[in-house]
Structure 1
Amino acid sequence: MPRPLWTGAISFGLVTIPVKVVSATQDHSIHFRQVHLEDLGRVRTRKVCELDGEALSQDEIGKGYELSKEQTVPITDEELDRIPLPTAKAIEIVAFVDADSVDPIRISDSYYLAIDGKVAEKPYTLLRRALERSDKVAVAKFAWHNRERLGLLRVREGAIVLHSMRWPDEIRSPESLTPREVELDDDEIERAVQLTDSMALDSIAGFRDTYRDALEELLTAKSEGKELPEPAEGEEQEEGKVVDLMAALNASVEAAKESRGEGEEGEGEEGEATVHEMRPRKKTASTKTASSKKPTAGRKAAASGKATGQKAGAKKTTAAKKTAGAKRTARKRSAS
């Protein structure tokens, strides 16, 4: 089990459930370090006081709240611990609501709640069964890092998941960002709905981070002294170009049908659906199988990949002709 980030208890009415909190997600991003270009030495950050310019050690650094540019109030951990916070060591369930009533924009990080000892097995199972049978999610309060937070509890594959949520006043209104109302034909709306239907999937499990795959191949090539992969070709978008919306929708629907192997009547063999960007079909990015350890970098467009395949095929054909010619020459010499 991953290292617990926090230990405490779930407070469910008068029921207490000892739990450990572990992260439900993993970061697979590739991280770079800042280095000195001359010798590739690591660049370190020194903590320096801006008043006297002295470098400080960790035991010389504390907390402070800046009231103004001229006044800062120092605060200690002991003073923060004195703040009355009933949720300091408990995830306190305060309500149960329908999952649809929670706007996803409020959800932040995700964590799994694991039992902390055998004594928690029965009450943990009780809460899980109650959530499953009621078909609701629990709203809770908890405090981490000297801050009270709002949380949401739900069940995923037999485990209780805690999602930290933002407070209502932390969500910005999109009012100033929405475009003005425009007139749309019913045909345009219906065609857009057809496009959504043609791109529908039962699951998003097959999506991959293709940029990370390409970056891994670039780093592998550099570390092994191999030729670097060629940059991927992309479509250049013309700025300010007026688009025929209906024509674009029709082309998108047809392209989506073709990618699924459907004919003009929408019939085709059943199989795994593929998803790609709706771009002109002459440049469709290739994908890499999930079983391969080394990624394929610099995803070339299909046209480029086809050209490469033709060159490779031409080389093989030439080699085959030379081999056949050599064999005929050898037979003639043997006969003579």
Structure 2
Amino acid sequence: MTKGRITWSGRERLGLLRVKDDALVLRAMRRPDEIHDPAELLPPPVRVSDEEVEGALAPVDTMTVDELEGPEFHDRHTEAVAKIIEATREEKPLPKAPEPEQPARVLDQMAALQESVTKAKASRGEDTGPAEVHELPAAKKKMSAKKQPVRKTGTKEKTTARKTSGRRPRSA
């Protein structure tokens, strides 16, 4: 066992180096101000009634299943991977993926939104005609400070030094 100082994360610490089996083990020692009382991390005690405990456990009880058997618990993924491994091992063509049981239903979101708006208007007693669509205003083009045109005036204006961030204006 050897004591020493080590630098770790930019901070000097005390360390303890020792041999354990066939390895060297370095243990970083902590100073008393680095050690916190674990009681500080505990939440404050709270009184809970039996009804509250039963209410919290009720959803867990309804979702609990005693036996994991049946078609909904059949592991088709592991079975498919095993078939692929077996086909690769025997250098046979890979099995084809099964067709989905039900074709995917494509949902027209604009039609669904229009139907939802129509139902909402009907429930409020409003006109259920098609929704009004407004064109968006054209975006304004912004010019950068460098590209803005220089204004020329016919009168001579007095020029003053602009305020800058702590720098002095250049002298000629």
TM bin, normalised by shorter chain, reads: under 0.3
Higher strand share: 1
Superposition TM-score, scaled by structure 2 size: 0.28
Instruction: Indicate the structure (1 or 2) with the bigger Cα radius of gyration.
Output: 2
